[in-house]
Amino acid sequence: MSHLIAPSILAGNFAYLQKDVEMLNKSEADWIHVDIMDGLFVPNISFGFPVMDAIKKYASIPLSVHLMIIKPERFISRFKKSGADHLIVHYEACTHLHSTIQKIKSEGMQAGVALNPHTTVNHLDDVITDIDQVLIMSVNPGFGGQNFIKNTYRKIEQTWNLIDKRGSSAVIGIDGGVDLTNASKLVELGADILVAGSAIFKSDNPNKTISTLKNI
């Protein structure tokens, strides 16, 4: 499979969300990455259900929803209702991760688990065959526009080893500081999904940047 591009709408223009979403629909983007922050798990608040509903209304590609919230199990069916196609929870935010993953899947969504930069990939050993995606955070979550953490490169390799060892079909996403300078190395090392916010929306031609990242 060639890699997928998931632009993070967090870097979009919230006064013209419809325009940005329609641009993504027409672009080579595969998914829209939707960042939900609660001000507790991460030191920032992004947006909630009304904004997600507005994104869903215009999106014709899947919404991949990254929950940076504590106890995400409280809202699984609510996010389904707002149009999430994939639900990604943080390893660090779930006391009963296995049960949370099963709940996400029982709602008909793909289940992903995100790892903060300090979290070792091996923590996923007992759930790797249950999940559809591992999202490796290449920044500390909470804000767009941060610098890429280079230790991510070896985490991709470690994730691949785990997936291989357990015969999992999970794909690997990379989130944070992804841009034209690191994208090809990430794909070479085995990243299946590149999430990018600033590199796309702050560029002169977001549509073209998506296409460059896709065809890197």
List residues forming the annotated binding site for a divalent metal cation: 33, 35, 66, 175
> From the CB of 77, what's the least distance to Zn ion, in Å?
21
Structure tokens at 199: 């590199």
Structure tokens at 114: 């995100």
Structure tokens at 100: 């949370």
Structure tokens at 64: 């991949």
List residues near Zn ion by CB under 5 A: 35, 66, 175
- State the Cα–Cα distance between residues 155 and 58, nearest whole angstrom: 35
Q: Does 209 bind ligand DX5 (CB under 6 A)?
A: no
> 10 Å Cβ neighbour count for 148?
18
69-128 positions binding ligand DX5, by CB under 6 A: none
Whichever of 66 and 155 has its CB closer to ligand DX5, that residue is 66
Q: Which residues are catalytic?
A: 35, 175
Whichever of 62 and 166 has its CB closer to Zn ion, that residue is 62
Query: Which one of 8-16, 19-27, 70-78, 116-124 is the stretch in contact with ligand DX5 (CB under 6 A)?
Result: 8-16
- State the Cα–Cα distance between residues 7 and 174, nearest whole angstrom: 12
> From the CB of 152, what's the least distance to ligand DX5, in Å?
12
| Residues at the interface with ligand DX5 (CB under 6 A) | 8, 10-11, 33, 35, 66, 139, 141-146, 175-178, 195-199
